[in-house]
Structure 1
Amino acid sequence: MIELPTLLAFTLLNMSFALIPGPDVICILSNAVSRGTAAGAKVCLGIACAALVHVAAATLGLTAFLAAVPTAFLVVKAVGAAYLVWLGWQMLRHPTEVAAGPVNSRWSSPFAQGALSNLFNPKVAIFFLAILPQFIDPALGHPGWQAALLGMVSIVSGTAVNLCTAALGGRARHWLLAKPRIFQRFQQLAGAALVGLGIKVALERAR
């Protein structure tokens, strides 16, 4: 069994990781501001589901395979980058339409945004590949079970942080909607950030 200090250290590290501005944070804030806290929470649910896939992949060794096979890594990176650019472009083209609430495509629904942006983010996979093993001690039990436990801790703690982010965005919603020009600029800034992140992901080399 993993010792409590180790679990606490991993939890704090994971929560800090969840606070770093990136695709997840931008998607949560954008949806919470434009559609309300509930929409932001749906993004969080999508992220949690994608994280579950990452945990399973790390536990089964698929993440190591992804890192070891350049072609597979490039495919995942390309898909993730393309989705971020597409999502950001939609926000840049129609910054005010998002505020109306209805979702025109299942690919741009809050849940899909959270799931796809996280699932195809190579940095998340690398996080589980590079960081998770640092907290596993074979002397304390089967490494696979320890990885699964740490993965669940990661999902729970990360979701807690993400929900707080969604609540923060939801509280800012009414103020921003009362100022249409500022709201539009916020959406355009979020869209530009997603496009920039997508380009950055596409240009980054595997480490």
Structure 2
Amino acid sequence: MRPARASVLPQFVDRDRGHVTAQMLPLGLVFNLIAVLSDMAWGPVAATARDWFARSPRRLSLVGGVGGLAMIGLGVTVAATGRKD
């Protein structure tokens, strides 16, 4: 029987199936690949949206107003539901 060890490993890493680093390295690489691909997709979308908003002063003003209202709403929510102690 193995002695109990405390470790923090993802549930899909099994120490009995071989070297832990060899299991975690491909998982880390896949995560980074997905992150890079996601950033590569969102970057052009954000640039296009920025350009669209920047072409109209009215749109920029609307974005600022909506952002301000969102901040006020969040502040009111925090004040109303904050800790009571």
Give the TM-score normalised by structure 2: 0.53
- Letter of the 2:25 counterpart: A
Could you say which structure has the larger radius of gyration?
2
**1:138 Cα shift?**
2.8
3-state SS of 1:169 partner: helix
Select 2:56's aligned residue among 179, 184, 202. Answer: 179
Which structure features the higher share of helix residues?
1
Deviations 1:122-174 (A, max 9, x none): xxxxxxx6xxx122233432112322221121011112112211111112222
2:21 aligned with 1:144: yes
Equivalent position of 1:167 in the other structure: 44
Select 1:157's aligned residue among 34, 40, 44. Answer: 34
Q: Which has the higher contact order (CA 8 A, sep 6+)?
A: 1
- Letter of the 2:15 counterpart: P
* Alpha-carbon distance change, 185 to 162 in structure 1, aligned in 2, over 3 angstroms: farther
Deviations 1:58-100 (A, max 9, x none): xxx7xx5xxxxxxxxxxxxxxxxxxxxxxxxxxxxxxxxxxxx
* Alpha-carbon distance change, 143 to 184 in structure 1, aligned in 2, over 3 angstroms: farther
Any stretches of 5+ residues in structure 2 without a counterpart? Answer: 1-6, 75-85
Any stretches of 5+ residues in structure 1 without a counterpart? Answer: 1-60, 65-128, 197-207
- Letter of the 1:177 counterpart: A
Superposition RMSD in Å: 3.2
